[in-house]
Structure 1
Amino acid sequence: MSPVNLLDFDLDGLAAYCEGLGEKRFRAVQLFRWIHQKGAADFTQMSDLAKSLRDKLAGAALIQPLAQISEQASADGTIKWLFDVGNGDAVETVFIPEDDRGTLCVSSQAGCAVGCRFCSTGHQGFSRNLSTGEIIAQLWFAEHHLRQRLKLGVGERAISNVVMMGMGEPLQNYTALVPALRTMLDDHGYGLSRRRVTVSTSGVVPMIDRLRDDCPVALAVSLHAPTDGLRDQLVPLNRKYPLAELMQSCRSYLAAAPRDFITFEYCMLDGVNDAPEQARQLIALVAGPRAAERVPCKFNLIPFNPFPASGLKRSPRDRVLAFAKVLQEAGIVTTIRKTRGDDIDAACGQLAGEVQDRTNAQKRMTRPVIRIEPSTQELP
């Protein structure tokens, strides 16, 4: 029998595993702390564990890191790691340092099956879901590697924020995602605030509803279009879960959310979704037909990071500013994301890794995006 990877367990899962070994929960808490707070991978280092437990774990369990293929450092301090996850698949993880935080962008799948037209991961196709251990191993490595690299003191963290915005659609890997989130939040693990852990989704409505009940964290929604006609082209998942359903799910999520708003991500595409009228359509979309149906939100406008297969271009800066002004004048908090790591292909939409595509994505995504001209009719 293959050894069990203890990175696959949240604390409750590890307690159940230890109970199967005849050990009490407090032993699981000790073990969990050694793994996640101290970064230990060798049971012999865990000096306050009973020797009998260490003997049981030897050969039966392990802490399995991901094999690092490469590391690239950007001129702005961003670091991108490529990790081997076996069978020809590799995923990317990105660390983004700022003055007041350290953010880790984590992958949840090898590739992505959603196929958003502006995302290089989507053009690459999909191979498989990552396990809980493979998701949390990205944080485990980054936190403890950076602590040593940055010479941080006891109690100092390298990672203060985690965003599930790497390769893949997190909510299409829900079973593995939730235990990973719980490990990130657990005070015996990484102790991150729910407000500092963000799941980004392209709009898997049933799983948004489940996340609200199972493990509510900050939610970001990849919106990218104000109408179903355009979003169907840019985010194909919209054909299954159209905007009306998505907005209702966002409203419901806020009943349990650690933040009192949803972040809508909006990639600015030249001549496709960046007209002032489309900004006004967004205002109408989040306002809802009645005041009680408004979606409290902020917009994060993202400069498109071009890649040859997309057939798309980045919106000019002046058009992005004009678009933001329309939203801001309607009272919606709007930010323009600063592009980080684009010189090492680590910016938003650029993560590609290496995957064995099982979806023939490149063949399916060769058709051009139709540029929809905004109508001249003013919205009410």
Structure 2
Amino acid sequence: MTLLDLTRRPDADDAPAPAPALAAKPSLVGLTRARLAEALSSVGVPERQLRMRAGQLNHWLHNRGATSFDQMTNVSKDLRATLAEAFTLDRPEIVTEQISSDGTRKWLLRLPAQGPRTRPAEVETVYIPEEGRGTLCVSSQVGCTLTCSFCHTGTQVLVRNLTAAEIVAQLIVARDRLGDWSGGAAPEGASVPTDGGRFVTNIVFMGMGEPLYNLDAVRDAIEVMADGEGLGIGRRKITVSTSGVVPEMRRLGEETGAQLAISLHAVRDDLRDVLVPINKKYPIAQLMEACRTYPGASNARRITFEYVMLKGVNDSPADARALVKLLAGLPAKINLIPFNPWPGSPHACSDWATIEAFSEIVFRAGYASPVRTPRGRDISAACGQLKSETQRVRAKDRQALEAAE
């Protein structure tokens, strides 16, 4: 399959862009209980029944993975018919599915246009199987605004935020493809692991985008993912990574109870200004203070600091000692990430001996410092490699869409 081509041919500058096809009916997949209740109310369900009916839908959609209203056997036939007339249970379209030699799976998902002036958007989602657990890396935005120099996603402009339902739908698609539903057999064509147990056990918001620039949707998505009668991913199994949007960090902890990860990568402001440009707005001292006051942080709930190893840039013994000093007193663990190359990248990965020496300094200071094994490099699914081909609609295209209406 090919990616959706949202660029225009040089000889077609004056040709009107086709209006995108909009879904005739909205999908209920990924909605919070409150949003499900609103949907039920809109089709005439009495207020006294809304809480119960929303609970039923939540169970069928997010615990059993229902793909048809007819599967909802404890919902009346008349209500099922009414719901089917107004809504769907559609998931995002899988444009491509790639499977790495190490078992990592990457899905490129196409999301419907949100209105007549918008086009379909694409995001990437990655599943990483490990011994005893499986981690799903989800995206929170189409593109990104942060332009971190080592990250491929940062070379794609921000197109839009994802809705909470679109974030949750990434987990729904993964469970569909893995046959990972409670009480149900794997659907036809699913790629099912054979090691037993639940396949998706952990969620990390480390895909495309900066989660704290879309915090309302991230919060609502976590609510759905953590619902014990639905998707059932415990909040301590959900980690949100930020590059340092300091004003939103406390709110993240208070409203979601999620684990916190910091995309750090440098211990000096002058270097971090280059590697992670948001540092110019919220420098390291402010970031560290926000970490020290993060709600719920403790030795039992340590903050993860991610540190990508860039050859000759941030990987010296002096950098390791400065990192230890910077984190003194914080309940922290440090993930050292070998840099994952991508076309046109200005960086190279540190030598393995350099990474080991860096890790040893950190470890001797009393911090866990695992070196993250690169996963899915052969399908560009590793940390920092995600990028879709969706582009922001240019003004000229937008005018053409308005004319087509």
User: What TM-score do you get using the length of structure 1 for normalisation?
Assistant: 0.87
Count of residues paired in the alignment: 352
State yes or no: 1:3 paired with 2:25. yes
1:111 aligns to 2:143 (yes or no) = yes
2:154 corresponding residue in structure 1:
122
Greater alpha carbon shift after TM alignment, 35-44 vs 54-63: 54-63
Q: Structure 1's 141 and 41: CA in aligned 2 closer, same or farther, altered over 3 A?
A: same
What pairs with 1:218-233 in structure 2 (closer than 5 Å)? 218-233=259-274
1:77-126 Cα shifts (integer Å, max 9, x gaps): 11111111242532111111112111111111111111111000001222
Q: Provide the residue aligned with 1:311 in structure 2.
A: 346
CA deviations on 1:147-195 (whole Å, 9 max, x unpaired) are: 1236689x95321111111111111111211111111100111111112
1:326 maps onto 2:346 in alignment? no
CA contact (8 A) 1:218 1:257 kept: no
Contact 2:140 2:161 in 1 (8 A): yes
Amino acid in the other structure paired with 1:340: R
Distance 1:282 1:341 in 2: 28
Matches for 1:47-126 after TM superposition, within 5 Å:
47-86=73-112, 87=119, 89-126=121-158
- How far apart are 1:27 and its partner, in Å? 1.4
CA contact (8 A) 2:58 2:229 kept: yes
Residue 244 of structure 2 corresponds to residue 203 of structure 1:
yes
SS at match of 2:203: strand
Helix, strand or coil: the match of 1:337?
coil
Shift in Å, 1:8: 4.6
The answer to whether the aligner puts 1:353 opposite 2:388 as a matched pair is: yes
Q: How far apart, CA to CA, are the structure 2 residues paired with 1:358 and 1:326? A: 48
3-state SS, counterpart of residue 41 of structure 1: coil
Q: Please state whether the residue corresponding to 1:178 is helix, strand or coil.
A: helix
**Separation in 2 of the partners of 1:297 and 1:305?**
24
Higher mean C-alpha displacement, 55-64 vs 245-254? 55-64
Identity %, equivalent residues: 47
Q: Which runs of 5+ in 2 are unaligned?
A: 1-22, 113-118, 180-185, 395-405
C-alpha distance 308-2 of structure 1, shift in aligned 2 (>3 A): closer
Distance 1:308 1:265 in 2: 22
For 1:234 and 1:151, how far apart are their aligned partners in 2? 39
Q: CA deviation at 1:254?
A: 4.3
Counterpart in the other structure of 1:12: 34
Q: Which residue of 1 aligns with 2:399?
A: none
Secondary structure of residue in 2 paired with 1:55: helix
Shift of 1:310: 2.2
As a proportion of its length, which structure holds more strand? Answer: 1
Quote the Cα distance in structure 1 between the aligned partners of 2:30 and 2:102: 33
Query: 325, 328, 344: which is aligned to 2:379?
Result: 344
- Are the equivalent residues in 2 in contact too, given 1:71–1:79 (CA < 8 A)? yes
Distance 1:97 1:227, change over 3 A: same
Name the counterpart of 2:166. Answer: 134
Q: Which amino acid aligns with 1:236?
A: P
* Structure 2: distance between partners of 1:276 and 1:227: 14
CA 1:132/1:257 → structure 2, altered by over 3 Å: closer, same or farther?
farther
Secondary structure of the equivalent of 1:277?
A: helix
Q: Return the TM-score normalized by structure 2.
A: 0.82
Contact 1:18 1:25 in 2 (8 A): no
Name the Cα RMSD after superposition: 2.2
1:164 partner letter: F
Query: Secondary structure of 1:264's match?
Result: strand
Q: Which runs of 4+ in 1 moved over 4 A?
A: 150-153, 256-259
* Distance (Å, rounded) in 1 between the aligned partners of 2:209 and 2:351: 28
Contact 1:283-1:330 within 8 A present in 2 as well: yes
CA–CA separation in structure 2 for the residues paired with 1:200 and 1:259: 18
Are the equivalent residues in 2 in contact too, given 1:218–1:258 (CA < 8 A)?
Answer: no
The aligned amino acid for 1:208 is: M
